[in-house]
Amino acid sequence: MKALSLLLALFVGFLLIGVLDDLPAWGDAKSPANSYVSAYYLKNSMEQTHVPNVVTAVLADYRGFDTMFETGVVFVAVIGIMAILRRDPKEEDSETGDRPPHAPPEGFILGVATRFIVPFMQMFALYVIAHGHHSPGGGFQGGVILGASLILMAMTGELESALDRMREKWFIVLVAGGFLLYAGVGLGCMFFGGNFLDYSALAPLLGGDPKAAAIMARYHGMLWVEIGVAFTVMSSMFAIFAYLSSDGRMDRGL
């Protein structure tokens, strides 16, 4: 099996090396991406989406289908880690026997500093998610900050204290729920007669001038998509940390 895996990896590697000559030169200003696609986004994104941040417009609108499956990859990764690592907390470790009792980090200053920092991290994360249309940010970035705030709580105290705020069943629901919210927005577009993730189809929900409503529908559709991404990224980060740090038992931290 190892030999087969090595041969497969080498075969794919040679294929990737073989196509390098067909790719544009690094930084080529006349490459198709720079001549057509990028120029189109820079010229039309503000008019078509009413979103000043071109990166957000590309990721959540023009390439929304691709970004949805990136979110799906995160979801599948968490399910895979859970399937491999999760164990019953009451199950005895066959290799090491009962583990020694966990001694959480001590320190009044450390605990107070964490309780002071975490709310600001979470408020800033919500700002990054909601304001990603106008400035650097979005669902991935805001979700990472939210997940980091929970991980900070678990690292500077006991894992149980973080799990009191984000229980196992909740982060499993949020990992799947964020992806389903993303896909649900796309299905909603189809329900109103548009293509999947064609946010302009949601214009009837806003009313008013049809053309202006179609543009604002794309704006608001991207916002809901970013919220779904943030749910998945936040919960997946904390889930991966919790499973790895507790050896899959979810009963103690590092």
| pLDDT tens, residue by residue, 106-150 | 566 777 888 889 999 999 999 999 988 888 889 999 999 999 999
Q: 228 pLDDT exceeds 80?
A: yes
Cβ neighbours, 10 Å, residue 207 = 8
The rounded distance, in Å, linking the Cα atoms of 237 and 70 is 15
Would you state the structure tokens that stand for residue 47, as one six-digit string? 């008019």
Length of the chain: 254
Ranges of each domain in the chain: 54-88+119-254
Phi first, then psi: what are they for 116, rounded to 5°? -80, -40
Q: What is the DSSP string of 151-211?
A: HHHHHHS-HHHHHHHS-HHHHHHHHHHHHHHHHHHHHHHHHTTS-TT-GGGGGGGT-SSHH
Residue 69: predicted pLDDT: 92
- Residue pair 32/24 in contact (Cβ under 8 Å)? The answer is yes
Structure pTM? 0.81
- What element of type H or E holds 77? helix 64-85
Phi first, then psi: what are they for 193, rounded to 5°? 95, 5
53-104 confidence digits (pLDDT tens): 999 999 999 999 999 999 999 999 888 888 888 876 566 555 444 555 545 5
